[in-house]
Structure 1
Amino acid sequence: MTSDFIAVLANPSAGRGRHRGLLPGVLEALGAAGCPVRPLVAGSGPEAEQACHEAVAEGAVAVVAVGGDGTVHRALQSVAGLPVGFGVVPAGTGNDFAHAVGVPHDPLKAAEQIGAALRDQRAHRFDLARTLDANGERRWFCAVLAAGFDALVNERANRMRRPSGPRRYDLAIMLELARLRARDYTVWADGTEHTFAAEIVAVGNCASYGGGMRILPDADPADGLLDLIFAAPLGRLDLTRLKPRLRHGTHVRDPRVTVLRAREIRIHAEGIVSYADGERFGPLPIEVSCVPGAIRLLR
């Protein structure tokens, strides 16, 4: 196997297929770095992760994710905490991590910058969040971990077979709103215990999730800290009113909303399955730690 190559994980269905014809141009732009470029083949999320891990073991100098936050999430599992370079070509619906770390919106321009950064041996360090669940499994995430209403919506949507596409998520929101209730949480932030009832709870390395919902508007993926948000019980009407304000991050001005910063956070509640970067992480409790400079971003 050839070492010193660029491994490319592409999700052709990202962004609902809008960038399906993008890959040849991305591969050409990455080739400007002077290294062989190797597209990875995977038929599922776990296979994608395995392909990235194998590429790193075989000597990849960089792993490049072409897609949205889900593709980024799969690829970063193989490079977090290692000296291997990481590139993001935003081709998904949300691209929240890419926006947070200054990746160009245009996919081909992003690929050109990755190639130039490799050629010039230039990289920027950014933080990642590392989790530990009740089964002792560790994973990384780059953007936001949801542990409240949005996590419940994701879990319900994943259990539904109909309808297809975005309508399934919309229906899941309506069904979860109908049975909305505040849950009792215990959270430890750098060892300080907080107990409260809430419907919204999230931990962020970056400001937004879900394609630009700025749940933690001041979160900075280069400050060595995680941001934690929770809100006093809102009820259906006030929660519905609060959600549109997430686009601008103005919800944090509500006196019922609390935002804390910490290096290590532990969240416990009954009946909640957490989601991060849109991926299922598993039931609470979960521990989240900020790992400063865990990734070498090429841009």
Structure 2
Amino acid sequence: MNEFIAVLANPSAGKGRHRGLLPGVVEVLGTAGRPVRILTAGSGIEAEEACHVAVADGAAAVVAVGGDGTVHRALQSVAGREVGFGVVPAGTGNDFASAVGVPQEGLTAAEGIAAALRDGRDHRFDLARTLDAHGEQRWFCAVLAAGFDALVNERANRMRRPRGAHRYDLAILLELAKVRARTYTLTLDGEQRTFPAEIVAVGNCASYGGGMRMLPDADPTDGLLDVLFAAPLGRLDLMRLKPRLRHGTHVRDPRVTVVRAREVRIEAEGIISYADGERLGPLPLEVSCVPGAVRLLC
């Protein structure tokens, strides 16, 4: 079976700023001495399926060209397998790439992937694996949102107008208008905690949303998940929280708690969870850290 490099590219990532990047990436990846196959897909579901088919066909590596959403889709086919994984950052948010030391310049990242394939080397990083109430399994690489930010994402995705970032800004205002603390039950490595909260997040990397450092001390190589939850903050303090997220200083607030665990179960009513910016589904959700689950080529 002739091993090849499968490339999943999102032409709309980064608001289309990197549309001209793909030909150069393909040329650079070709220096690894393997044929390069560009995967075609018209939706996120089709993208995942194309990656799974490529792996089944004998791909030596799957390369995601895009942001964290593209990475999330491609990861579903390589997580827990021996297939190599490469990332060429080309999105609005490239949080996983930043966390694991992938160069932010696209062609430089592609050169690193090609060199790793030629030299037969890789770097192992942890991933988070989720299991929902129906037994469906998903993987994510950065941060799972299960509080106010998840509510904002869900509302923004239901809105048709306005377009672009303004839709997200409006969704924030609309959710702030009716914000309330919900009762959460977290089970951390078998220890159960129940409390009211507006913010709950679980992750393997420091940031999400293009640099919001929700879990500033998260380490994707320590075999543990970072879990953050905050006592009820109220509307005004939630508004003040966003600029602090950019620097990770929100964790200094005495109302914010960060713990680490290998396995987490999250339960709450009326929350649709999001991971890597992608919709996972309603709580409850079980999350576990799988050490070394991805072979990153860089």
TM-score over 0.5 (shorter chain): yes
Q: Which residue pairs with 2:277 in the alignment?
A: 278
3-state SS, counterpart of residue 21 of structure 1: coil
Unaligned regions of 5+ residues in structure 2, if any? none
- Aligned equivalent of 1:73: 72
Q: Which residue of 1 aligns with 2:7?
A: 8
Q: Paired residue for 1:246?
A: 245
Deviation at 1:165, TM superposition (A): 1.1
Three-state SS of the structure 1 residue aligned to 2:78 is coil
State the alpha-carbon separation in 2 of the partners of residues 164 and 212 from structure 1. Answer: 21
Structure 1 residue ranges, 4+ long, deviating more than 4 angstroms after superposition? none
Match of 1:32 in 2: 31
> Which residue of 2 is the match for residue 184 of structure 1?
183
Q: How does 1:144-155 map to 2 (within 5 A)?
A: 144-155=143-154
d(CA) in 1 for partners of 2:255, 2:130: 27
1:270 Cα deviation (Å)? Answer: 0.3
Give the superposition deviation at 1:111: 0.3
1:121-140 map, 5 Å: 121-140=120-139
The TM-score, its normalising length taken from structure 2, stands at 0.99
Q: Which letter does structure 2 place at the counterpart of 1:83?
A: E
Match of 2:294 in 1: 295
Are 2:51 and 1:52 aligned? yes
Q: CA RMSD in A?
A: 0.6
Q: Distance in 1 between matches of 2:129 and 2:32?
A: 30
**1:53 counterpart SS class:** helix
Deviation at 1:192, TM superposition (A): 0.6
Query: For structure 1, which runs of at least 5 residues remain unmatched after alignment?
Result: none
Cα distance in structure 2, aligned partners of 1:64 and 1:78:
11
Structure 1 residue identity aligned to 2:157: N
Q: SS of the residue aligned with 1:12?
A: coil
Q: How does 1:196-235 map to 2 (within 5 A)?
A: 196-235=195-234
Task: Please list the CA deviations of residues 14-57 of structure 1 after superposition, one character each: whole Å capped at 9, or x if unmatched.
Answer: 00000000000000111110000000000000000000000000
Query: Are 1:97 and 2:96 an aligned pair?
Result: yes
- 2:236 paired residue number: 237
1:284 is aligned with what amino acid?
Answer: L
Q: What letter corresponds to residue 180 of structure 1 in structure 2? A: V
Specify the SS of the correspondent of 2:180.
coil
Matched AA of 1:271? G
Q: Deviation of residue 242 (structure 1)? A: 1.7
Deviation at 1:243, TM superposition (A): 1.6
**What code does the residue aligned with 1:207 have?**
A
In the other structure, the counterpart of 1:88 is: 87
Query: Cα offset for 1:3?
Result: 2.4
Aligned to 1:77, what secondary structure does the other structure show?
helix
Question: Residue 280 of structure 2 aligns to which amino acid in structure 1?
Answer: F
Secondary structure (helix, strand or coil) at the match of 1:49 reads helix
